[in-house]
Amino acid sequence: MDLFEYILILTSVIYALAVAQVLSGVSRIAQSRMKIRGFLPHKIWIFNLFLFIFLIWWATWEFRAVNWTFPQYAYLLIAPTLLFFVCSLLTPKHFDDEEKDIEAHFKRIQRPFFATYFFAVVAVIIDGNILSDEPIWHSGRYGHLVLLVASISGYFASSRNGQIAVALITLVALFATTAARFWFPR
């Protein structure tokens, strides 16, 4: 095992725990005996976070040639840690009379969710500049900029339609970034 594989183990575990947070939340909703009112942006964000985590984890392979130092390793842990927190916010741990409405829960966690997501996106955007020789601007940055704007918009959006738009725009940006980065590389 080389140093990169060793480093990738902890980041992979944190990403896996983040995905487990979302999966266990969806499972709690599915198993609940209470009638839980769904919320479309919540459902889209479940998919968005899955996709974002898997894309970041896949892209991390590009750092295999880095001559790793401890500060670089510490930096690499920022995005998975922030995304774990975002995923843990998304679905309530327990359902009671007040938590039967996912929309009410989403509104309650909206600001910490989008603020943390914003900083996770920033960490992902600049990781190539910090850890390797990735150019500051490339075709994937357009999608990244959309993710940043969407997270800021989500932080302030108060209407249901606004949150639906933010979630859908994020989804489209993730697909566009995937295409630009992995299907049509520079």
Q: What is the mean pLDDT of the chain?
A: 90
Which of 123, 4, 104 has its CA nearest to residue 52?
123
Query: By the 8 A CB rule, do 44 and 171 touch?
Result: yes
pLDDT tens for 144-157 read: 899 999 999 999 99
Helix (H/G/I), strand (E/B), else coil: 34: coil
Q: What is the DSSP string of 106-164?
A: HHHHHHHHHHHHHHHHHHHHHHHHHHS---SS-TTHHHHHHHHHHHHHHHH--SHHHHH
The structural domain count of the chain equals 1
pLDDT tens for 27-52 read: 888 887 777 778 999 999 999 999 99
- Domain containing 135: what range? 3-183
Tokens of 96: 């009671």
Residue 89 pLDDT > 70: yes
Confidence of residue 100 (pLDDT cuts 50, 70, 90): confident
